[in-house]
């Protein structure tokens, strides 16, 4: 694929924030992506036409029920769930990680060991460490010097007492992709479950819980072009077993048992619209070759879209890697062109002799948003030998970014050398 094969300029026109911002460059997408026009319209429509509570007998309330059911089916297709009831909606991924961890903590017996990693976002570490007062024993799957988790290293920390492995699908700091299928095979062979944080990978590639063979997976919709919300997927049998807080009138079955209180219905409507947008991306990228089958399923349309996005973003990764190397940057994690398939277009780096804050301030002055700091992964920063207070610089790209924008960042970095 070449840069011209992916209809990036056409897709950029779908994002009102990009139109409004003019020449401003959004390179902080790991902290939250922009939303397309269809998502904004879905939220607006919900707030005008059905801003009521679900569960009533009148039409507007019934419409809320239908909105939630549609969104659940959409997200189930997006992750390739076996049934919509495996999807629960809530505020964010962190709250779901904490909810599952508290439930697992109540189920510890002779299997009392939880495996965590030092590559993960702190949300998928601290939540499990908090189980130690409940009797959990934490074991560490350590990242190697190449910035990756290697499945063969996991084998050494698994045993008959392992209850669960908690790991990321992709590092929110380094952009490294983890071989979670291999990790799942090892965990299951040891009689344990595996919990995946897919927040950072969500906007970058195909999520397939069946192919991953995982037991739980969390994601934040606002990283996948929706408003702020999160969702949890779990194997139906695993969700049934989980003890969860619920009011007495809520049946002890998923997904209701996992959705305590009222979540933000309009944002869930926006999540469904974000998936509708992704299907449009898939159609736009296939029109140049062969039109998708008329009976293509929503799942297949999502797969086509995310595959196209993944291919285009590898072009962006290559351009950004070459730009950073030309500027003399120290890049953390995968930095070889032949290994770009093991990362997403999220790069952590530092410029020799220039503080991370100075780099991001210079970029900001040039109308480019990047981020500095510990990236909510302080243990990772320590492994990299970086001070948590300063950390590193992170540029995180999405499919609506362009090669020209990468070159604009390169011009800023070149002036700082």
User: Which runs of consecutive H residues, i.e. helices, occur in 232-365?
Assistant: 236-241, 265-286, 298-326, 356-365
Which pLDDT does position 290 carry in this prediction? 55
Q: For residue range 342-376, what is the model confidence (pLDDT) as tens digits?
A: 999 999 999 999 999 999 999 999 999 999 999 99
The answer to whether 54 and 264 have CB atoms below 8 angstroms apart is: no
**Domain, as residue range, for 180:** 42-272
In-domain check, residue 27: yes
pLDDT (average), residues 120-138 = 97
Domain shared by 320 and 207, yes or no: no
Domain shared by 65 and 105, yes or no: yes
Domain shared by 118 and 250, yes or no: yes
Least confident of 288-297, 328-337, 340-349, 389-398: 288-297
Confidence at 240, pLDDT banded by 50, 70, 90: very high
Which pLDDT does position 5 carry in this prediction? 86
Domain shared by 237 and 109, yes or no: yes
Domain shared by 261 and 346, yes or no: no
In-domain check, residue 393: yes
Domain with residue 246: its CATH number is 3.40.640.10
Which pLDDT does position 249 carry in this prediction? 87
Which pLDDT does position 286 carry in this prediction? 83
In-domain check, residue 194: yes
Which pLDDT does position 125 carry in this prediction? 98
What single DSSP character describes residue 291?
Answer: P
The answer to whether 189 and 85 have CB atoms below 8 angstroms apart is: no
Write the burial class of residue 413 (CB in 10 Å: 0-12 exposed, 13-18 middle, 19+ buried). buried
Confidence at 288, pLDDT banded by 50, 70, 90: low
Domain shared by 268 and 249, yes or no: yes
In-domain check, residue 288: no
In-domain check, residue 279: no
Domain with residue 23: its CATH number is 3.90.1150.10
Domain shared by 357 and 372, yes or no: yes
Domain shared by 338 and 403, yes or no: yes
pLDDT (average), residues 262-283 = 96
Which pLDDT does position 67 carry in this prediction? 97
Which pLDDT does position 298 carry in this prediction? 95
Q: Is the pLDDT of residue 60 over 90?
A: yes
Q: Is the pLDDT of residue 158 over 90?
A: yes
* Nearest-angstrom CA–CA distance, 33 and 303: 20
Q: Is the pLDDT of residue 404 over 70?
A: yes
Domain shared by 7 and 77, yes or no: no
Domain shared by 189 and 334, yes or no: no
- Which of 251, 272, 293 terminates a domain? The answer is 272
In-domain check, residue 167: yes
Q: Is 232 in a helix, a strand, or coil?
A: strand
In-domain check, residue 283: no
In-domain check, residue 179: yes
Which pLDDT does position 181 carry in this prediction? 98
Domain shared by 231 and 354, yes or no: no
Q: Is the pLDDT of residue 289 over 80?
A: no
Q: For residue range 77-88, what is the model confidence (pLDDT) as tens digits?
A: 999 999 999 999
Q: From residue 55, how far is each of 62, 100, 210 by CA, in Å?
A: 7, 26, 32
The answer to whether 18 and 34 have CB atoms below 8 angstroms apart is: yes
Considering the entire predicted model, what is its pTM? Answer: 0.95
Q: From residue 176, how far is each of 18, 148, 348 by CA, in Å?
A: 27, 6, 11
* Nearest-angstrom CA–CA distance, 372 and 24: 18
Provide the percentage of residues in the chain whose pLDDT is more than 90. 93
Pair of tokens at residue 293: 């089958």
Task: Report the number of distinct structural domains present in the chain.
Answer: 2
Domain shared by 53 and 135, yes or no: yes
Confidence at 1, pLDDT banded by 50, 70, 90: very low
In our burial notation (b when 16+ CB lie closer than 10 A, e otherwise), range 231-243 reads: bbbbbbebbeebe
Provide the percentage of residues in the chain whose pLDDT is more than 70. 97
Least confident of 224-233, 240-249, 258-267, 282-291: 282-291
């Amino acid at each position: 694929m070449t840069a011209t094969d992916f209809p990036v300029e056409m897709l950029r026109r779908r994002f009102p924030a990009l139109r409004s911002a003019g020449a401003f460059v959004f390179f902080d997408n790991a902290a939250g992506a922009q939303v397309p026009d269809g998502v904004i319209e879905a939220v607006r429509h919900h707030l005008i036409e059905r801003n009521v509570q679900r569960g009533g007998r009148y039409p507007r309330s019934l419409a809320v029920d239908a909105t939630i059911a549609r969104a659940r089916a959409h997200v189930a297709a997006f992750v390739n769930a076996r049934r919509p009831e495996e999807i629960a909606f809530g505020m964010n991924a962190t709250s779901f990680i904490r909810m599952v961890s508290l439930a697992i903590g109540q189920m510890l017996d002779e299997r009392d060991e939880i495996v965590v990693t030092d590559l993960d976002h702190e949300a998928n570490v601290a939540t499990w460490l908090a189980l130690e007062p409940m009797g959990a024993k934490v074991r560490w799957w350590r990242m190697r010097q190449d910035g990756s988790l290697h499945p063969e290293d996991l084998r050494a920390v698994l045993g008959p007492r392992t209850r669960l492995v908690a790991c990321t699908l992709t590092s929110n700091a380094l952009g490294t992709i983890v071989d979670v299928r291999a990790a799942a095979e090892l965990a299951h062979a040891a009689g344990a479950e595996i919990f995946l944080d897919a927040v950072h990978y969500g906007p970058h590639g195909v999520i397939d819980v069946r192919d991953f063979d995982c037991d739980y997976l969390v994601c934040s919709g606002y990283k996948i072009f929706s408003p702020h919300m999160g969702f949890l997927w779990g194997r139906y049998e695993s969700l049934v077993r989980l003890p969860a807080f619920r009011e007495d009138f809520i049946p002890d079955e998923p997904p209701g048992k996992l959705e305590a209180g009222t979540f933000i219905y309009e944002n869930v409507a926006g999540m469904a619209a974000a998936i509708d947008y992704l299907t449009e991306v898939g159609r736009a990228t296939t029109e140049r070759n062969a039109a998708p089958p008329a009976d293509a399923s929503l799942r297949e349309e999502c797969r086509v879209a995310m595959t196209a996005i993944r291919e285009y973003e590898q072009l962006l990764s290559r351009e950004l890697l070459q730009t950073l190397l030309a500027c003399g940057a120290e890049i953390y994690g995968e930095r070889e062109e032949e290994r770009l398939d093991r990362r997403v277009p999220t790069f952590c780096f530092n410029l020799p002799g220039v503080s991370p804050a100075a780099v991001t301030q210079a970029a900001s002055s040039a109308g480019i948003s990047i981020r500095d700091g510990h990236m909510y992964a302080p243990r990772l920063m320590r492994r990299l030998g970086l001070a948590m207070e300063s950390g590193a610089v992170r540029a995180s790209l999405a499919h609506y970014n362009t090669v020209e924008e990468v070159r604009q960042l390169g011009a800023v970095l070149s002036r700082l050398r």
